[in-house]
Amino acid sequence: MIIPVILSGGSGTRLWPLSRRATPKQFRSLVGTQTMIQDTAARLATLGNVGEPLVVCGAGHAARVQKQLAAIGVTPTILIEPSAKNTAPAVAAACLAAIDRHPDSMVVVLPSDHVIEDVAEFARLVDLAVTTARDGYLTTFGVVPTFPATGYGYICPGDSLSGEASAIAAFVEKPDEETALEYVASGYLWNAGMFVFRATDFLAELQTQDPAMHAAVVGAYPSSPDEGGTVHLAEEGWNTIEPRSIDYAVMEPTKRGAVLPLACGWSDVGSWATLYDLGTKDDAGNVVQGNVFLSDATNVYVRSESKPVVVVGVEDLIVVEMEDVVLVMHQRAAEDVKALTEQLPDELT
């Protein structure tokens, strides 16, 4: 049995003001008509022998997860984190829940807010990853780079394994531009934070690499879900956990890591510039969403959520209108949005 695990704990500040603490980007329609988390759940439903998803999120987002997935006919089990502890504890708790459903569960771990254009190719690669994971490997997907990105970590593939999989030689941090060029030329892959493994294998590796985290997660996991099927992780044990990513806690130190190259139109929609790149452009290179009027504009992204927006005689701008705030910036400043949010009053974030 394949159990999907959807990680829905991010705040997506790079897409402020559309993405905020109360309604981060996974609950917004960014590309197409469905929200990001709906797209993720629908994509997973195309896999064979797959169960209903487990979704890990904070208490403030649980009702929204339930409502949005119910709207597309999906009934998730929701695991509520008392506090954000990064991805390793979240995945460990989800593995415990998966084992409760089926002792030999394979889990497919995905962030809730990524775009994958070629769903058929994605499903094919998940099947290959499951085969690799059945041999005891903790398997991740490495996205085949389309440009020398400096905003992603990279994975260096090592010796070939069965099929298209390779052992993981190394994880490397986000590089500068010159190093990124070298990585792409050398066949390195983007680290996209997507994984497939047997739930028991992941927990065994976590117990070896970080026994304190393993014990804390097991201690925080309840003996049974509540009446609505929601799993409330216990605050007392959970809050003792040191936040660590799955990469640092498990994937980097393990000797059983494997990677599959993924080329299926992937994007983490990590900035407004990325959203512009994904959009359908008019003859002048403009992307518009909502009630927008353009005149003599070139290469602009304009999004209106509540009021009409008129843009005249400009180029290379990003304009995002919300009911309470408007963002106007040059496209080259798109990576500065996260830092900007740290300077804003709480009521705007």
- Indicate the fold that domain 2-267 takes in CATH: Spore Coat Polysaccharide Biosynthesis Protein SpsA; Chain A (3.90.550)
Average pLDDT, the chain: 95
Q: What residue spans define the domains of the chain?
A: 2-267, 272-348
Residue 115, beta-bridge partner list: 267
Residue pair 143/118 in contact by the 8 Å Cβ criterion: no
Element (H, E) at 317: strand 317-321
Residue pair 341/16 in contact by the 8 Å Cβ criterion: yes
Q: Between 199-209 and 211-220, two packed helices, what is the crossing angle to 10 degrees?
A: 130
Q: What 3-state class would DSSP assign to 22?
A: coil
Checking if the pLDDT of 226 tops 90, the result is: no
Kindly state the tokens that stand for 312: 């005249």
Q: Please compute the mean of the pLDDT values over residues 92-102 and round it to a whole number.
A: 97
CB-based contacts of 15, cutoff 8 Å, min separation 6: 25, 28, 30, 269, 271, 272, 275, 337
Work out the pLDDT band at 63, boundaries 50, 70, 90. very high
pLDDT digits (tens, 9 = 90+) for 179-209: 999 999 999 999 999 999 999 999 999 999 9
**What is the C-alpha separation between 118 and 98, in angstroms, rounded?**
27
pLDDT digits (tens, 9 = 90+) for 281-337: 999 999 999 999 999 999 999 999 999 999 999 999 999 999 999 999 999 999 999
Residue pair 137/205 in contact by the 8 Å Cβ criterion: no
Percentages (nearest 5) of helix, strand, coil residues in the chain: 35, 25, 40
Q: Is the pTM of this model over 0.85?
A: yes
Residue pair 5/334 in contact by the 8 Å Cβ criterion: no
pLDDT digits (tens, 9 = 90+) for 150-174: 989 999 999 999 889 999 999 999 9
Q: What is the DSSP letter of 202?
A: H
**What is the C-alpha separation between 190 and 192, in angstroms, rounded?**
6
**What is the C-alpha separation between 345 and 349, in angstroms, rounded?**
7
Specify the residue for token string 């904070």: 58
Burial 161-190 (b: 16+ CB within 10 A, else e): beeebbebeebeeebeeebbeebbeeebbb
pLDDT at 45: 85
